[in-house]
Amino acid sequence: MIYLGADHRGFALKEKVKSWLTEWGHDYEDRGAFEYDKDDDYPDFATAVATAVALPVRQSLGEGGSLSNGSKGEVSKGVLICGSGIGVAIAANKIKGIRAGTATSVEQVRASANDEDLNVLAISADYTNEDSAKKIVKTFLETKFSGDDRHIRRVNKIKDFEK
């Protein structure tokens, strides 16, 4: 499942992402905003998405678990959008089990998904054009975690901070 969230600055781009996900055959759940509201707050949507993404990991592998250890299971991902992309990433990373990052290029998101097991992508609505955003989202969804020992070791070191 792909979970989506955006504040007012990311609302229009989130609606585009929904159409791309449908086009690509992905199931998704919109966690808000459900309408444009210039006074909404990005942490509300970031934590709604991050909590949803983290839940299957905790249920299948134990509290704070990660699929980075090579376990089999359904992997949920999230896409968050705000003006900078950074605010939603900061908020999402407060949720145990989340590895959120802001990406501005296909190469950057590919490396982060492959090496850091990125499970929430944050996009800047103000600094990312629609064509780039589409390529970034598609790459995020298609790139699998490498499972290389060195990457597992590094992700596990990050997980240790959550204890």
What residues are labeled active site?
Answer: 82
Cβ 28 vs Cβ 12: under 8 Å: no
Cβ 87 vs Cβ 121: under 8 Å: no
Q: Please give the structure tokens belonging to residue 93.
A: 């990373």
Distances (CA, A) of 27 to 18, 68, 70, 89, 148: 9, 22, 23, 22, 28
Residue 49 to residue 31: CA distance in whole angstroms: 6
